[in-house]
């Protein structure tokens, strides 16, 4: 079960955090993994780790905000069975302290970046008479979270775009779903804590962990396991759905 043998999988932001965990798991399950990263070093390092364990992977430098770049990269890959729209950035702030440049930056990476990859991948999937697209939304798309105005907006857009693609391309055997994680323990979280709470890292890590009803953050591998299921043939009846993976945050946080 959950074999990706013979599949060509493109993962944006696949060189670190959740994206890296997905890249590694997909490669272990037999996919040829294509990592697109703004940070080419991170992409190359992730590819090297995959290759050292017998997997097939390739690295591509690219900026998801640039449509021409993405179309060029996807044409170089030539065959795409799976796209994971994972690349994204965060922002902390409410409406009043989110500047126009902050908002534009979040929109450009999180929303336009995913759109550019949809745009590049769909024609290739149509030519192969099928495909799977999985996009990273967030619990911030589904519930109100303090000081996440721009970020929540972008993740709500991801959810809506995924639904639209699922509806429009169902006839081509293309599935489109989203995952909505709560807080996941990635290098980004550690960097955020050390930057904003110097000297209080352990205290703040515990506080953020306890904000999940289950009492801890998710691990990237746990998100990757759900991604594997949704991109596998075992999930062939699933499209137009969002899957919260949140340690009880949405339903039990009261």
Return the active site residues.
151
Helix, strand or coil, per DSSP, at residue 83: strand
What letter does residue 139 receive in the DSSP assignment? Answer: G
**CA 107 to each of CA 83, 110, 152: distance values in angstroms, whole numbers, following the listed order:** 20, 5, 11
What letter does residue 31 receive in the DSSP assignment? Answer: P
Closest of 36, 7, 11 to residue 22, by C-alpha: 11
C-alpha 225/C-alpha 216 separation (Å) is: 18
Contact 74, 124 (CB under 8 A): yes
C-alpha 242/C-alpha 109 separation (Å) is: 21
Contact 77, 34 (CB under 8 A): yes
Q: What residues pair up with 35 in beta bridges, in sequence order?
A: 11, 59
What letter does residue 217 receive in the DSSP assignment? Answer: P
Contact 245, 179 (CB under 8 A): yes
């Amino acid at each position: 079960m959950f074999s990706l043998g013979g599949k060509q999988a493109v993962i944006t932001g696949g060189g670190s955090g959740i994206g890296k965990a997905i890249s590694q798991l997909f490669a272990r399950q037999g996919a040829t993994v294509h990592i697109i990263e703004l940070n080419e070093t991170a992409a190359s390092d992730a590819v090297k780790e995959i290759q050292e364990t017998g997997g097939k992977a390739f690295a591509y430098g690219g900026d998801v905000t640039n449509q021409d770049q993405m179309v060029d990269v996807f044409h170089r890959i030539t065959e795409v069975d799976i796209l994971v729209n994972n690349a994204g950035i965060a922002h902390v702030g409410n409406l009043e302290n989110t500047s126009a440049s902050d908002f534009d930056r979040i929109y450009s990476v999180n929303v336009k970046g995913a759109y550019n990859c949809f745009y590049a991948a769909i024609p290739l999937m149509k030519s192969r008479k099928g495909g799977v697209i999985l996009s990273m939304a967030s619990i911030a798309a589904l519930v109100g979270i303090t000081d996440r105005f721009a970020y929540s907006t972008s993740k709500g857009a991801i959810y809506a775009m995924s639904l639209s693609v699922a509806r429009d391309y169902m006839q081509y055997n293309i599935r489109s779903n989203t995952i909505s994680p709560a807080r996941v323990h990635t290098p980004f979280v550690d960097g955020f804590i050390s930057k904003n709470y110097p000297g209080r890292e352990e205290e703040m890590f515990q506080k953020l962990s306890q904000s999940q009803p289950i009492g801890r953050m998710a691990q990237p591998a746990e998100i990757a396991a759900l991604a594997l299921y949704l991109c596998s043939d075992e999930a062939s009846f699933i499209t137009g759905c969002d899957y919260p993976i949140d340690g009880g945050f949405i339903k039990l946080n009261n």
